[in-house]
Structure 1
Amino acid sequence: MESSMSELENVSAYLADNIIALRKRSELSQDKLAAKAGIPRSTLTNMESGGGNPSLTNLCKLAAALGVSIEELLSRPRNECSLLKADQVPIKMRSGGKVAVHKLMPDKVRGIEIDRIHLAQGSSMAGKPHLQGTKEYLVTLTGCVGVSVGGQNWEVDAGDVLAFPGDQKHGYRNLHRGPSEALSIVLPLPYPTP
């Protein structure tokens, strides 16, 4: 019982820290954030002090106003800065070890991926469709990468950027005589506003 009370206190502290950090990052006063979320300022003040037990409705309103998920509001706050040393970057070997995918995001954020792809000469790799509604941006850093998506083939030379629907079946192929390297950035598309 004591352990669950301690966990609840931690979540309240996480919520308070996250709201304050997100509010300040958005340059909003308590009054402005409360108005934007459609909740009383006193409710917001109470949440920022780590007190009370906010309703799910108020958490949803606050998360929407700050542009984050409820999970992000309640999670342990992330450090503002983090350094991932080169030897700590996770690498996934694909295509029989001929393709190395360096996972460059230390934080897991739903729908967002940043990878550095190293393709050995003559190698290819099938891409995995990402979450629905995402867009992928492939920037070739060195060499030339062929990308097939939606029945079309693209040659992406060094410095070129190809944008395509990330939720479609796609693949990559090294078209260069030596190794090629590319940066893949997958982002959720913004919802259209009425």
Structure 2
Amino acid sequence: MADSESTDNKTAAHLARNLVSLRHTRSLTQDGLAKAAAVPRSTIANLESGEGNPSLSVLVKVAGALGVPIDELLASPRAMVRRWNADEVATHTKGRGVTIRPLVPEPVPDEMMEVMDFAPGAVMGGTPHLPGTREFFTCIDGRVNLMVAGERYALNTGDVLAFPGNLPHSYQNGDGVAPARGVSVVVLAKAGV
């Protein structure tokens, strides 16, 4: 029986340490995590103190809110390292000839970070965000034209354009023959701010 209690205590300690670390990494408060996981804040506080005895349902909700598998919550102390194979990172096509994939495959509060691959002739309309949102687009290969509020900005490899994300905008491969690539970082405005 003592071995079982010792194992339970170790698991609770691992859960507490991992939960605090993951929550801080994502800049979440206990209340913010509780809301995202749809559990009471006291549940998060108990888990972080090592006193909680969560159900599988609670673990699934908390892991989902943090964007990690349950085993990462319960793992013994180790470096917080995770590798994604290329086929595990979801990609989607948007517009005509633009492939988008997340730059960071874990949720990052208040930001969107994407790698955008532009086939020759590719065009994509941007989605305006809330006022106060800021977008930074870096052309990392080739040439990309951005239209922001009716004005055209031609970007070459290494150029960066920052603009209010709530303005109408669109992207276009700036070279009709060669592909291009860019990174978009959108710092989202908080609702009601």
TM-score (norm 1): 0.58
Q: How far apart, CA to CA, are the structure 1 residues paired with 2:162 and 2:112? A: 14
Q: How far apart, CA to CA, are the structure 1 residues paired with 2:95 and 2:22? A: 41
**Equivalent residue letter for 1:187:** V
For 1:11-160, list aligned pairs within 5 A.
Answer: 16-17=16-17, 20-21=20-21, 48-51=48-51, 75-76=62-63, 78=68, 79=72, 80-96=80-96, 98-160=97-159
Partner in structure 1 of residue 174 of structure 2: 175
Alpha carbons of structure 1 residues 113 and 173: separation in structure 2 relative to 1, 3 Å: same
Write out per-residue CA displacement over residues 123-176 of structure 1, whole angstroms, 9 at most, x where no aligned residue. Answer: 210011234432111111111111011222111110001111122221001111
The 3-state SS of whatever aligns with 2:21 is helix
Alpha carbons of structure 1 residues 165 and 46: separation in structure 2 relative to 1, 3 Å: same
Alpha carbons of structure 1 residues 180 and 13: separation in structure 2 relative to 1, 3 Å: same
Contact 1:111 1:130 (C-alpha < 8 Å) held by counterparts: no
The 3-state SS of whatever aligns with 1:123 is strand
**Equivalent residue letter for 2:81:** C
Q: How far apart, CA to CA, are the structure 2 residues paired with 1:18 and 1:134? A: 31
Alpha carbons of structure 1 residues 46 and 134: separation in structure 2 relative to 1, 3 Å: same
Please, which runs of 5 or more residues in structure 1 have no aligned partner?
A: 1-11, 26-44, 53-73
Contact 1:115 1:185 (C-alpha < 8 Å) held by counterparts: yes
Write out per-residue CA displacement over residues 101-126 of structure 1, whole angstroms, 9 at most, x where no aligned residue. Answer: 12233222343111111111122100
RMSD of equivalent CA atoms: 3.3
Count of aligned pairs: 138
The 3-state SS of whatever aligns with 2:120 is coil
Contact 1:111 1:131 (C-alpha < 8 Å) held by counterparts: no
Contact 1:92 1:101 (C-alpha < 8 Å) held by counterparts: yes
Alpha carbons of structure 1 residues 143 and 23: separation in structure 2 relative to 1, 3 Å: closer
Please, which runs of 5 or more residues in structure 2 have no aligned partner?
A: 1-11, 26-44, 53-60, 73-79
Task: Using the aligned pairs only, state the percent identity.
Answer: 33
Contact 1:127 1:170 (C-alpha < 8 Å) held by counterparts: yes
Contact 1:89 1:104 (C-alpha < 8 Å) held by counterparts: no
Deviation at 1:84, TM superposition (A): 1.6
